[in-house]
Structures are given as structure tokens and as C-alpha cells.
Amino acid sequence: MLFTSISFLYYFLPIVIAIYFITPKKMRNFILLIASMIFYFYGEPKYIFLMLAEILIAYIGAILIDKYKKKSLLVVTISIHIGLLCVFKYTDFIISNINSVFGANISLLRISLPIGISFYTFQILSYIIDVYKGKVGVQKSFLKLATYVSLFPQLIAGPIVRYEAIEKELDARKHSFENFSYGVRRFTIGLAKKVLIANMLGELCNKFIITDEKSILFYWIFAISYMLQIYFDFSAYSDMAIGLGRIFGFHFLENFNYPYISKSITEFWRRWHISLSSWFKDYVYIPLGGNREGLKKQIRNILAVWLLTGLWHGASWNFVIWGLLFGFILIIEKVFLGKHLEKWPNFVKRIYLLLIIMISFIIFNAESMKDALQNIIGLIGLNGESFVTQYTLYCLRSYIVILVVAIIGATPLIKDITLKLKKNEKANKIINVLEPICIVLILLIVTAYLVDNSYNPFLYFRF
């Protein structure tokens, strides 16, 4: 079930909220668990038992780890969860590569990927590891652990919520009008970003993919549009998850912080998909030694993290290359380029950052490296197309407004202006009056768009 569907917005969510708030506090985790099970069952009925089995394994494993403090128990429990992730996500990738390298003819299993498995597996792993380290207490209630893992606001698309972040809120969380109104506002902003910006950018990208009338200018429009689409698509779902979490009393950490205003790749990955970056840092990079054992091992650790980051996003070589590309660039910035970057003018730093990100997402989006290369060299006219066509100009005229809105929206400009206005007493009163009206208007516009338009993909379902 998508957050951006009529069934979620006008049936599932209002019913869950109503039942949740009329239920006694002691029963609210149970209501959320049941709601999360229904939410997941709606999209993945056969894999709900897989998720429940993983939660049970984590529950028993963590209790045993806490009791006996044995590393072997930690290794076994982690291996089971990683093994299940590999079976469902990477089996066909491994088989196809064996067939390719050795000329074998092993049949692909064609196992469908359970929605959200990458996210909930990482949440389970962080919980188990933190119990072993003594950072969090073991959860003796299966219901509470299951609620944490399956919580529907962040189940299918993150952010990756660590157990320590909501450990206390599973037992006792505060509900207030302020939290509820913030949650509604944040959810609505995410909804608008997804439906009114990301989906329209997706339409433009799709027009480029299916047309035979490509041009150099259209390659640039596509590259910029996809870079913006994936940001608005994923950050919108994070906004909606954070908003929904707040409605139910949970405080999820931020997952995006205007990454396209970064001045280096290093800074970019502090701002993009923060929950994933910090997860790999804390549970892979630092345990491998981080930067504590000399430059050679640090380089090894960075490459290991980015190889795994690429694979986490998908079982395909373009994701591996995408991850390693960032690994190598981060190493170059760390070893050599970083000190020179500081001396460059800000606009040069941003051009450097945006060009690398744009090319990286061309690779990320491609069905094959051949397609990626074709789209990259198309930017400089090596595919033989003309600079511009009538169809390119038609598409540009049709989507120029949304492109401008997306570019502005990818910066903190609107946020900064709003915060400055709120410091003025009169302006703040006007904003407080207009804000709920704007939320209602956005919901009406989004609803009209969803009813009228069937193009409503979610990019991260691929991963």
C-alpha cells in the first residue's frame, strides 16, 4: 500500500488514527502492530510470515545474547538475517554471474523481492548488535519488538530507525496537539513533494526513455530531472514517515538535509539518506577499523562500505559500480582533493558536486552499463543526435515550471524565508492562519491528481 494512494489516505490512515486514539494507552502498541501487519499484508501477503519469522528470530536471539554474552550467538543470529536477505535479494544475481563466468546453465529461481526487507533487516541487525554491545536493553516483549520492526510509517521505505531512537517511546510516548499538527504538516509536505513534483518529473523522464527523438539538450533535461526526481521521491517518503511517526508519538531522525547544496561528495553523504550512511559507518566502517589503523586499511574500509552500499541498493552491476564510484571519489577527496576543494569558489564546488551526482544517478538508474554509457556520452553529443528537436522543446515548455519549482525546492530557500517571516509577530500570525488552509488545499490538489493520474511509481521499491 502506497502512502500516495486513495486507499491509504482516505481509508486506512483515518481508520487507524481514530482507533489508535480511542484505545487505552496500554493497547496502542498492539493497534499499531495490527495496523502494520494489515498494511504489509495488503502489498505482500505471502511475505508477512517471513517478516514475522525474522522478528521472532531476533527476539529469541537478542534474549540469548543478553543472557550469555557470547559472540557466537551474535554471529549466528546476524548470519541468519543476512542469509535470508541474500537469498531473497541476491540469489539470481549470483546465479546469473556464475552462468556468465563459467558458461553454466543454472536456472534462475526468480524469487520476488519482499518489500522493505532491506530496511527491516538493517533495523533488526542494529538492534541485535546494540544489545550485544550493551547500548540498549533487551526487549522482553515480543509485541513491542514486533511493533518496532514492522511500524508501518517507515516499514517499506525507511528511514532506517534504530531501536535506541525509539526504545523509550515504545514504553511511553507523549501525544499532544503540537505533535499531531506537526505530523500532519510534515506528512502533507512529503505528500506534495511526491505527487506534485516527483511524479511529474518521473513523467518527463519516462518521455525521454520511450522517445526516439532524443537530443543533446534532452539528455541534459533527463539527467537533471532524474536527479531531482529521486531526491523528491525518496525524501518525500522520509517526510511522510517522519510525519506519521510524530502523529503516533514517535520521533524519527531526519534522513535528508538538502544534499544538493553540498560542496563535496563527503558532505553530500552526510546529507543524503543519513540513516543509511550512519548505519554503515557505525556497523561496518568503524568495526572494520575506520581510520584508526593507517591509510591503507582506511581505504580498504571505505571501499568495503561502498561496495556494500551499492549492493544494498540492488542486485545488479550498475549498483556495484555506482557504490564503488562514490568509494573512489571519497578516497580521492580524503587523500588529495579535499584540501584543494576548500580553496575553490563555492559555485565551482557545487558544479563539481552536481556533475558527479548527475552522472552517478545516470548509472544508478540504468538497466545496464551500456544504457548508462549511452546516456552519459549523449550529454556531450557523441551519440550523433542534434542539439535540440521540436519534441525536446515541447517537453521543456510542458515541464519548465515543475523543473524550476524542483530546483528551488531542493534548496533551503523556502524554509529560510519562512523561518525569517515567523520571527516577525504579524507575519507569524498570518502564517499560522494560512498554514491549515494550505494543508487542506494541498490535500485537495493531491487527491485530484491521484484520481486523474495513474502514474504514481515509487523508485525505492526496486531496492
Choosing from 251, 273, 313, 340, the catalytic residue is 313
Q: From CA 85, how far away is CA 90, in angstroms rounded?
A: 8
Q: Which amino acid is at 315?
A: A
Asked if residue 228 lies in contact with residue 423, where contact means CB atoms within 8 angstroms, the answer is no
Q: Has 175 been annotated as catalytic? A: no
The Cα-based distances of 243 to 132, 190, 289 in angstroms read: 31, 8, 36
What amino acid is encoded at 161 in this protein?
V
Q: How far is residue 203's CA from residue 87's CA, in Å, rounded to a whole number?
A: 34
Q: Which DSSP string corresponds to 153-206? A: TTTTT-----HHHHHHHHH-----HHHHHHHHHHHHHHHHIIIIIIHHHHHHHH
Burial of 110 by CB count in 10 Å (0-12 exposed, 13-18 middle, 19+ buried)?
Answer: exposed
C-alpha span between 216 and 195 (Å, rounded): 28
Q: How far apart are CA 236 and CA 226, in angstroms?
A: 15
Phi, psi of 368 (to 5 degrees): -155, 165
Active site residues: 313
